[in-house]
Amino acid sequence: MAGIGSHMQRSGRSGRVMSVAAPEEGRAASKADAAFEEFVRARSVHLLRLALLLTGWNGAVAEDLTQTALERAYGRRRTLFGTDRAAEPYVRRVLVNAAIDWRRGLRRRAELPLDSAARLAAPDLADGIADRDLLVRALAAVPPRQRAVLVLRYWEDLPDAEIAAILNCGVGTVRSQASRGLERLRRATGLRPGSASEFSTAGDHDE
C-alpha cells in the first residue's frame, strides 16, 4: 500500500507541474498571436506595395503573394513573434522569392511593353512624380531577379549583403543584376541616370 501511495503522490506532483506549464504555453501563444496581429496591422500595406512592385503592378497576384507570406509567418508565429527575432526579414524573403517563382512561371508570356507601362502614369502629376510613376511601372519590363534586386535596394533600402541572403546568391551577383536592371530601365524610360534614386520614394505620393 505504501508503494501505491507514494506512486500516487508522485503522479499528483507531476499533474501539478503540467497544470502550471499549460497556462504558460497558453500565455506564450497569446503573446505570439497578439504580436502577429499587430505586425499585420502595421506592415501589411507596405508588404502589399512591395508585392505590387515585384509583380509589375498585378494587384490580384500581389494580394495573393502577400497573403501567402503572412500565412507562412502565422504558421511560425511562435518562433517569429514569441521572441525578439525580427519577423519582417522572414516575411520579406518569402514574399520576394514567391514573386520570382510566380514570374518565372510566366516566361513564355511577353514582358509588358513600355508604351503600356507608360500609359499607366498620370499625365497631370508634377514632372518628378510622373517620372517616378513611369519608373515604377517600367519595372514590369525588367526580368524578375533584376526587378527584385532593384526593389530591395531602392524601395526597401537594403544593403547588398542582405539582398544576397534573401536571393541566396553572392554580393557580386546582386551588383551585376542591379547594374543590368538599371541600364534596362534607363534605356526603356529615357530617364536621366540619376532618376533611379527617385525609386526609393516612388510610393510617397500614394500615402
Q: Per-residue pLDDT tens for 70-122?
A: 999 999 998 898 766 689 999 999 999 999 999 887 754 554 444 444 444 43
Three-state secondary structure call for residue 1:
coil
Q: List phi, psi (to 5°) of 116.
A: -70, -40
Quote the mean pLDDT of the chain: 76
Non-local CB neighbours of 162 within 8 Å, separated by 6+ positions = 89, 152
**155 within 8 A of 202, measured Cβ to Cβ:** yes
Domain boundaries, the chain: 2-206
Q: Which three cell numbers stand for residue 17?
A: 507541474
Q: Which three cell numbers stand for residue 20?
A: 502550471
Please report which residue ranges of the chain form alpha helices under DSSP H: 2-54, 59-75, 77-80, 88-104, 114-119, 127-138, 144-150, 160-167, 171-189
Whether pLDDT at 7 is above 70 = no
Three-state secondary structure call for residue 47:
helix
Counting beta carbons within 10 angstroms of the beta carbon of residue 153, is it exposed (0 to 12), middle (13 to 18) or buried (19 or more)? buried
Would the pTM count as exceeding 0.85? no
What distance lies between CA 204 and its chain's CA centroid?
Answer: 18
Q: Which three cell numbers stand for residue 192?
A: 536621366
Whether pLDDT at 5 is above 60 = no
In the numeric block, the cell 526580368 is attached to 143
Q: What is the pLDDT of residues 169-183, one digit of tens each?
A: 999 999 999 999 999
